[in-house]
Structure 1
């Protein structure tokens, strides 16, 4: 599920948009009237979409954009006079008035993009810590010394053993360093 936060200075406007989205199968996480409330709600989430107006009681959309986490997208509903400014800032902007289905389709597309980015982010291999890199390097050096492997062969051996035993390469490196006579 993607978090959807709605921010408008008038609670009636925010609730109206919330109801429109819910009727079209999009769940809404939070409805806010200030940018501070929205920033706080966004901090509690990993990613999501903020749907907002141009100006709130305490800040403008551009201020809010600076306070939200980097994996949040923003859709600004703005009057025609502010449309160019918002669009030029790189934020998705929809000019009011807008047809409800165009709005819902834009939100749905933004959510699909976020889900795709989340999947892509999670599929990336995590970066190893310096300690983990040192352990792997030490295990390879030990294999190179004990079995006269070159570095590439030592790495391949380490990978194969970790896959054969169903453990990650760092754990296998620790095992090799602890007792290499078993390997």
Structure 2
């Protein structure tokens, strides 16, 4: 389930939107009335969606979007007069007066997009730091020298040990280095 931060300058607006979302299966993690509160709440979450209005007591939505981590998307609800009409990265706009059906469909679209992005990120292999790669290379060199393995055999051996022990390649390489 997506982490949702509901943020409007008027607390009653935030509670109203939170209620609509909650009745339809979207649990709001935080209710905020200022941009600073939103940023503080975002620090506690790894990613999510900020449902907000145009203006807060301390900033407007554009400033908030610039300060939010990239793992957050924004659904801005405001009158058409407030929206400049420009497409902005990470911001979806819904006009007032708000239709509940539009809100729910837009939320579902944003949640699905966030899931697809997370799935795509998880499917890509994690990039190792140069230090981690150096440890793996050192472990392979030790195995090649002491056990007469080829580089491919040493790499396969480290991979198999890693899978058997449920550890990362780097942790397995560190164990091999410390044992030898």
Q: Which runs of 4+ in 1 moved over 6 A?
A: none
C-alpha separation between the residues in 1 aligned to 2:46 and 2:10? Answer: 26
Number of the residue aligned with 1:32: 32
SS of equivalent to 1:93? strand
Q: How far apart are residue 14 of structure 1 and its match?
A: 1.4
Closer, same or farther: CA 138–111 of 1 in aligned 2, 3 Å? same
Q: How far apart are residue 2 of structure 1 and its match?
A: 1.8
SS of equivalent to 1:29? strand
5+ residue gaps, structure 2: none
Higher helix share goes to which structure? 1
> Residue by residue, what CA displacement relative to the aligned partner does 1:45-104 show, whole Å, maximum 9, x if unpaired?
111110111111211000111221110000111211233x25422321112223211111
Number of the residue aligned with 1:70: 70
SS of equivalent to 1:92? strand
C-alpha separation between the residues in 1 aligned to 2:15 and 2:168? Answer: 49
C-alpha separation between the residues in 2 aligned to 1:158 and 1:19? Answer: 52
> Residue by residue, what CA displacement relative to the aligned partner does 1:126-165 show, whole Å, maximum 9, x if unpaired?
3334333222111211233334444334323332344455
What TM-score, normalized to structure 2?
Answer: 0.84
User: Which segment drifts farther, 131-140 or 151-160?
Assistant: 151-160
Closer, same or farther: CA 60–137 of 1 in aligned 2, 3 Å? same
Count of aligned pairs: 179
Closer, same or farther: CA 41–175 of 1 in aligned 2, 3 Å? closer
Larger radius of gyration between Structure 1 and Structure 2: 1
Q: How far apart are residue 179 of structure 1 and its match?
A: 4.7
Number of the residue aligned with 2:58: 58
SS of equivalent to 1:77? strand
